[in-house]
């Protein structure tokens, strides 16, 4: 959907998504968002009580989009939980290799809002708790001796590759973490 075709709330969210992704959250001012969304500050504040509320809505929207896309990709690549755990790293590698990759919005947001009590940080942390829970469920279904530990290790690899790729494009981190994930999974699941 184009920015012009969407209603004001959607236009604001689309503009915020683009600007937050390319410029950073704190660096993006409300004036830039309303200009890009072809709306007014009054309209922005009608739909979002503050910039913080807009940031939270942006992250919640990214969360929904990610899970819809991600689970579909994993289930398309593998049926059995053990192989779904490995497929996570195939999908991850494809994402990191994408020329449009701009980092993880949740990692980026938590870096910009480091206070753990801040709403933006909390939404970001909740995303990764959900991600770890997803991996824990798969690890348990696959027969891991310690599903929580395996999920924690795999999540650390997943997040580390994102940061490595943000810092240096084409770093090879995706291949490295996939190999490490294969070893961890093989050693954790009988």
Domains of the chain, by residue range, sit at 1-48, 52-188
CA of residue 26 relative to chain centroid, distance: 18
Confidence of residue 6 (pLDDT cuts 50, 70, 90): low
What is the mean pLDDT of the segment spanning 66-71? 95
For residue 92, pLDDT over 70 is answered with yes
* Cβ count within 10 A of residue 99: 5
Phi and psi based region of residue 39 (left: phi greater than 0; alpha: psi -120 to 50; beta: remaining): beta
Q: Is the pLDDT of residue 28 over 90?
A: yes
CATH of domain 1-48: 1.10.10
Looking at every residue in the chain, the average pLDDT score rounds to 94
Considering the entire predicted model, what is its pTM? 0.89
pLDDT at 100: 87
Host H or E run for residue 14: helix 8-23
Domains 1-48 and 52-188 share a fold: no
Q: What is the average pLDDT across 161-188?
A: 94
CATH 1.10.357.10 fits 52-188, yes or no: yes
């Amino acid at each position: 959907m184009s920015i012009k075709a969407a209603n004001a709330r959607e236009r604001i969210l689309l503009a915020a998504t683009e600007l937050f992704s390319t410029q950073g959250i704190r660096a993006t001012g409300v004036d830039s968002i309303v200009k890009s969304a072809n709306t007014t500050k009054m309209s922005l504040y009608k739909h979002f009580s503050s910039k913080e509320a807009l940031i939270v809505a942006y992250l919640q929207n990214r969360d929904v989009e990610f899970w819809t896309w991600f689970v579909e990709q994993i289930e398309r690549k593998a049926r059995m939980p053990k192989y779904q755990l490995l497929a996570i790293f195939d999908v991850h590698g494809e994402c990191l290799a994408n020329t449009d990759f701009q980092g993880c919005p949740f990692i980026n947001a938590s870096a910009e809002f480091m206070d753990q009590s801040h709403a933006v940080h909390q939404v970001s942390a909740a995303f990764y708790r959900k991600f770890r829970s997803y991996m824990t469920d798969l690890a348990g279904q696959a027969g891991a001796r310690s599903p929580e530990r395996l999920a924690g290790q795999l999540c650390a690899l997943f997040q580390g590759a994102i940061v490595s790729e943000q810092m240096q494009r084409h770093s090879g981190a995706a291949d490295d973490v996939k190999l490490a994930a294969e070893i961890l999974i093989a050693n954790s699941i009988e």
